[in-house]
Amino acid sequence: MTVHLIDAALDAELQYLKDNVTERYICAGSPTTRAAAITAALCTLTGLTSGSFTGPVDGDDNGRKVTKDAESGDGIDADGTADTVCYCSATTLLWRVDNASPQALTTGGTVDTAAHDHEAADAV
């Protein structure tokens, strides 16, 4: 069986992220809720807007993607090993990116995050 899903349906998922993410937490561990992300946060960035993202555009292999633009020089609030980046609304953890190469962070320093994307694959 072959399935067809129009790009607009995938874009709706991705646009939801763009429109609702307002906070970014670089965390120790793998939080599964916004409250847990706040508790585990080593670096906090609030005031994100849809302008912090690029897309939706065609995905790298198929489907569609939205990209969180790079950030640099964000202040570190607590010592720890950064395992994940959590993107939240004011009430909910919306998207978590697990770091394949955890990085030690030290209070008072700064951290940079590379651009990274969330892809919605084509239906097959």
Per-residue pLDDT at 4: 82
Domain ranges in the chain are 7-109
**Is residue 2 predicted with pLDDT exceeding 90?**
no
Owner of token pair 């651009």: 115
Per-residue pLDDT at 100: 87
| DSSP string for 80-119 | EEEEEEEEE-SS-EEEEEEEEEEEEE-TT-EEEE--EEEE
Report pLDDT digits (tens) over 76-108.
999 999 999 999 999 999 999 999 899 999 999
CB 21 within 8 A of CB 118: no
Per-residue pLDDT at 105: 97
Report pLDDT digits (tens) over 22-46.
999 999 999 999 999 999 999 999 9
pTM: 0.91
CB 90 within 8 A of CB 21: no
